[in-house]
Structure 1
Amino acid sequence: MAVVDSGTDAGHPQLSGKVLTGFDALRNAPGGDVDCVSHGTAVASIIAAQREEGIGFQGLAPGARILPVRVTERELDQSDNASGADVPAATFARAIRRAVDGGARVINLSVTLYVPDPEVEAAVRYARAHDVVMVAAAGNRHHDDGRPDPTPYPAAFDGVIGVGAIEETGARVGESQIGPYVDLVAPGGQVVAATRLAGHNLYTGTSFATPMVSATAALIRSAEPGLSADEVAKRIIGTTDPARGDASLGYGSGVLDMYRAVTERLSTGRPAALPPLPELRHDPAAAARAHRWATIRQVALWVLLGTVVVVGGVAALGVLLPRGRRRRWRPARPAGPPPPRPEIDEPAEKFFQVPASNRPAG
């Protein structure tokens, strides 16, 4: 996986051992593993950042390795992305060719030019001839005043997947451009990604939606290495989910669905119509048997209910009859509290006096 950008910080803990020796197109020398502005590091981390304990962020294709190709060292304005003045066309074209020669099977192009250049177009054809999947940002220069958006390159070249950006709500990011070069959209609003010097930050723009599509392409090529670049692109675009708007609103074919892109297969044949269901023939004997069994089930149900009622009644009589005979069929009265004992106020002598007739003589 090649990332043509501002370089990739090879010292970031989540990219440790993931960054190859690339190419520094600014100095026309090997390198590219130094990033002064964090843009390329963020892009690379969305693709390949490995899991780290205590960090909730991880790349989408952590098994991928990054081949950094450095084409700029300037701070890229997220609302403006990169203009032609930031990256000379000749430098950009040389970077694409070096990525292809370095063995990249997928190239992420999150730096956008706004002037068509024959050298860049020739480099794109060179990559296509070598069966390389190219994924490019659709740019962040959308005009809300009715003016057409400037055409971004290399997203507008044939054979390049152009990626727009959507927010968490599914709506298009306001700066994400609108045009026929938008093939699909991916999350690009407030995306968590790595920065240089071991940090993390939130990023917005098509630059950060693009690596999500590139990571998907890397996963497909890893799972099915026999697919051509055009087949990978067709798979990604053909498995998108419906977006909130149509292509005229900058959503392309829809929203990236990584799971579907990796697991589903596209067919080139026409859909096969299912044969009509056979008509059910009427069988009088079967209908009679079904009616007979339905009657038996109904009778059995009533017999079972009647048996339950009879058994319950007999059990109740077995409990109540002995009790009735013991009481001679008189209604039982609930036992109340015992009557209160009378209080004795008179002196004890009154109750123990001996009558005079019974007293002994003097």
Structure 2
Amino acid sequence: MSRPTARPALTALAAVVAAVLPAAPAAARAAPACSAPPAPVRPVADQPWPQQRYAPDRLTPLATGAGVVVAVVDSGVDRRHPQLAGRVLDGTDFLDPGGDGTRDCAGHGTGVASIVAAAPRPGVAFRGLAPGARILPVRVSEQQVVDGRESGRTVGAGDFARAIRWAVDHDADVLNLSVVLYADDPAVRSAIAYAVRRNVVVVAAAGNLHDSGDPRPYPAAYDGVVGVGAIGTDGVRSPFSQTGPYVDLVAPGGDVLMAAPGHGHHRAEGTSYAAPFVAATAALLRQYRPELTATEVARRIVDSTDPAPGRGDGYGAGVLNPYRAVTESPGPVVDRPIQAAVLPVDGTDPAAAAHRARRATARHRALLVAGVAGGTATVVVLLAAVLPRGARRRWRPAGPA
């Protein structure tokens, strides 16, 4: 769920529901078109503050996310937007069966996808952090926040779990989950473990209910998931961004510019919009270092963060730094114990092995040769020295407990 900013023009911005509600009756799920489509908005030429912070042009010579599939399990992704044209694959629709996930009645999923993969356009400063990535849209909601109230349909937890599995089975390399449940659902927990076993980087929003006592958010609180909190333009944790051990790092989530369905741009705030900055960074790493496992990608992103201006569980390891994540060697892990996966996992999965081999072949890079022996020795020394203390709790390669 995201919260609209205080700007008058943004009072009808969309948001995915904070807790996935019971599934709507079948008769109510057959809507052929959006009952309340988002209002049209104009393009914004100004450079958004996250791009000033991250200077994505520095990353372009290294990686763009090319060849990487980022699944956006959300309100759908509108491929008609000029900056998303040619970047959105045929997905699926768990809200209205038969759809391909490219109808967005809320605008939330389109905004999330654009933060990842929006292409540069003349006269528009906004662009995605990984514009070479491809978006796999999986539609599960059309909820909006209007005048402070949530309205619209959403799937139940069972369909949300099936949506996650569908994305994994359709070759997602990175999974962006800007949908938050405030209950530990066994089906969703199992689906997350399924994604982790199959070498998918799972990124989730940490939730916006800090003022309501920080209820535990899922999937962000599951082991193997990168939980993302939000900071504002001043670099300080946004007041709504939840605090707790499930926050692994923070990223821009206040006054964030993004694409709107159809055409144009709008601004919004929420941990929903912080998560795709991390998902995009994972896409860059999956292209630049295709030999890394999902666990290693997640660890590099967390270990390469910049120091946060504040202290406590609200910042996790620190502030996302995509450039450091891509270019730097892994650093020491500080006081973050790694725990076993939530679910026991059986032996080697042939499908996962084949998927990894296919990805490595498709994204083969010449610099894979450089420093393999040295990198291996570094990892061995790192594990021997650090693992007793460990990282906080996650990203242990899934395997028998």
- Note if 1:259 corresponds to 2:323: yes
Q: How does 1:30-69 map to 2 (within 5 A)?
A: 30-69=99-138
**Residues 282 and 297 of structure 2 are in contact (CA less than 8 Å); yes or no, is this contact kept in structure 1?**
yes
Asked which structure has the greater RCO (Cα within 8 Å, sep 6+), the reply is: 2
Q: Give the aligned residue type for 2:174.
A: V
| The structure with more helix, counted as a fraction of residues | 1
Counterpart-to-counterpart distance in 2, 1:190 and 1:37: 18
**Residues 76 and 82 of structure 1 are in contact (CA less than 8 Å); yes or no, is this contact kept in structure 2?**
yes
Question: Which of 153, 167, 172 is the matching residue for 1:104?
Answer: 172
**Residues 156 and 181 of structure 1 are in contact (CA less than 8 Å); yes or no, is this contact kept in structure 2?**
yes
Structure 1 residues not aligned, in runs of 5+: 272-362
The 1:57–1:207 alpha-carbon spacing in structure 2 relative to 1, beyond 3 Å, is same
How much has 1:129 moved relative to structure 2? 1.1
How much has 1:167 moved relative to structure 2? 0.4
The 1:98–1:89 alpha-carbon spacing in structure 2 relative to 1, beyond 3 Å, is same
Secondary structure at the residue paired with 1:209? helix
Structure 2 residues not aligned, in runs of 5+: 1-69, 331-377, 384-401
The 1:134–1:217 alpha-carbon spacing in structure 2 relative to 1, beyond 3 Å, is same
Question: Which of 80, 88, 91 is the matching residue for 2:159?
Answer: 91
TM-score, normalising length: structure 1: 0.71
Secondary structure at the residue paired with 1:40? helix
Tell me what 2:287 maps to.
222
Counterpart-to-counterpart distance in 2, 1:82 and 1:161: 28
Counterpart-to-counterpart distance in 1, 2:321 and 2:225: 18
Tell me what 2:274 maps to.
209
Tell me what 2:215 maps to.
150
Counterpart-to-counterpart distance in 2, 1:251 and 1:230: 20
Matched residue count: 267
**Residues 21 and 30 of structure 1 are in contact (CA less than 8 Å); yes or no, is this contact kept in structure 2?**
no
**Residues 79 and 175 of structure 1 are in contact (CA less than 8 Å); yes or no, is this contact kept in structure 2?**
no
Counterpart-to-counterpart distance in 2, 1:219 and 1:87: 31
Counterpart-to-counterpart distance in 1, 2:151 and 2:245: 20
Counterpart-to-counterpart distance in 2, 1:27 and 1:57: 31
- Note if 1:166 corresponds to 2:231: yes
How much has 1:78 moved relative to structure 2? 11
Secondary structure at the residue paired with 2:298? helix
Supply the RMSD in Å over aligned alpha carbons: 2.1
Q: Give the aligned residue type for 1:216.
A: T
Question: Which of 129, 142, 152 is the matching residue for 2:197?
Answer: 129
The 1:219–1:81 alpha-carbon spacing in structure 2 relative to 1, beyond 3 Å, is farther
The 1:22–1:174 alpha-carbon spacing in structure 2 relative to 1, beyond 3 Å, is same
How much has 1:207 moved relative to structure 2? 0.4
Tell me what 1:25 maps to.
94
Counterpart-to-counterpart distance in 1, 2:174 and 2:251: 17
Identity %: 56
How much has 1:27 moved relative to structure 2? 2.8
Between structure 1 and structure 2, the one with the greater Rg is 1
> 1:206-239 CA distances to partner (integer Å, 9 max, x unpaired)?
0000000000000000001110000000000000
TM-score, normalising length: structure 2: 0.64
The 1:118–1:270 alpha-carbon spacing in structure 2 relative to 1, beyond 3 Å, is closer
Tell me what 1:311 maps to.
none
- Give runs of ≥4 in structure 1 deviating > 4 Å: 76-83
